[in-house]
A = this chain, B = another copy of it.
Amino acid sequence: MTTMKPIDLHPDRLFPADPATRELARALYATVADLPIVSPHGHTDPRWYAEDAPFPDPSALLVVPDHYVFRMLYSQGVRLEDLGIPRRDGGPVERDPRRIWRLFASHYHLFRGTPTRMWLDHAFRVVFGMEERLCADSADRYFDRINAALATPAFRPRALFESFNIEVIATTESPLDPLVHHRKIRESGWKGRVVTAYRPDPVVDPEFEGFRDNVQELGALTGENTATWAGYLAAHRHRRAFFKSMGATSTDHGHPTALTCDLAPRDCQRLLDRALAGTITPDEAEQFRGQVLTEMAGMSRDDGLVMQIHPGSFRNHNPQLFADFGRDKGADIPTRTDYVRALRPLLGKHGNARDLTLILFTLDETSYSRELAPLAGHYPILKLGPSWWFHDSPEGMLRFREQATETAGFYNTVGFNDDTRAFLSIPARHDVARRIDCRFLATLVREHRLGEDEAFELAPQLAYHLAKAAYKL
């Protein structure tokens, strides 16, 4: 008989080993552990909250939709078909959730040392009450326990939302989205606060699948002639207003680079023409996206939506995987990203405004100390988003604080974003961020670089207040 391996959800996890620093980190954390979750940027499905239907099974909840999970399995030779990831051609994939779960469980050791492991263990222990570690041997016990739980009312989306202590969560939708789920949530009388965010990539990126049709549809939705530059901009204004009426406080822009432009209207029209005609070159498409960013900044000054730029991902890097399974399957890879030259056109036009907040994210950690902190430590409109995506991890968060704080300070940052579509990981992710921030503050205090009273003042700012203020939530 093998001994049970327990899940180690130690109360001191992620705190540094030095006893005096650990003790202070623990004390700081105690003041923020139970603060509500403000989730100003993420990708959960509003349908969950609108319909409040049970999640179907453990694999459908925790494996199939989570590209952090299946990219690691795939990297070690597991076929996506065997994990039940649907093929675009409708070809056969595993449909038995228990078999998928067993396959996942038998590879769980691959996640050692990764944040995915911490998030999953947290959910297993806290949400489902598991005490033994997931492995091939415990796979069925896990499956049965989680499966049974999901059938009960306490594990419906709204109940989980409430038990997670979420004060507000933002989803992200395309301008073409009618926001029916958000409307349904509002009309349902449920108290949970779910807001949308304006993510216009499908009508902003000429290289997005179906761009021309998307822009036409944008015109149809708004009654604007989106074949003209003026009409195209007016259509954005319409939809932004609609999104704002459905709770949006922000827009989000996921471009390949941070390039911004400030072109003459005639040049804008020419680019739009070529984009709609499908004759736009890659360089011109980049200019078009860059021009729209500058326009969006101007619109934000009018309607007050907070602007976010999430640049630097090479999307769909694996052509065969994209052909077989489509986008968001773990094959987006970060690239080197310039901000200093790229943002200058936008900053030259709007950088000194008093009525605009632009939150910058990066997948290129080299920019923290070299570009982002110096920019955010100067321009009034700029704030720094937290460490993001591949860097949303204990080491990544520490690097962000260590590399950005000395130049940008704490008050040019905006707290934590979970940025996830993995609903169950949300409490775990915020918990990791709170622990790491308290660890960082405790280290500063123990090295006499910050007053202890100041650390206690900053901890709830980083955990809660800064995000609420920056995103106007």
Residues of A at under 8 Å CB distance from B?
A: 5, 8-10, 12-18, 20-21, 71-72, 74-77, 109-115, 118, 133, 314, 317-321, 330-331, 333-336, 338, 340-341, 344, 347-348, 351-352, 354, 363-366, 369-371, 373-380, 382, 390-391, 393-396, 402-403, 405-412, 443-444, 446-451, 453-454, 458
Contact = CB atoms under 8 A, between A and B. Distances in A.
Contact of A75 (B320, B382, B410): B382
Nearest to A377: B75
A370 B375 contact: no
Given A13-B447, A335-B370, 18 more contacts: A5-B451, A10-B448, A13-B449, A17-B20, A109-B454, A110-B411, A113-B410, A113-B450, A114-B407, A118-B449, A317-B344, A318-B347, A319-B348, A335-B341, A335-B371, A336-B366, A390-B406, A390-B407
A443 B9 CA distance: 16
A74 B410 CA distance: 15
Given A17-B446, A406-B396, A369 B352 contact: no
A406 B115 contact: yes
B365 A369 contact: yes
B405 A114 contact: yes
A110 to B, nearest CB: 5
Given A10-B448, A336-B338, A351-B318, A77 B380 contact: yes
A439 to B, nearest CB: 9
Nearest to A16: B447
Given A110-B411, A447-B17, A453-B5, A396 B378 contact: no
A112 B454 contact: yes
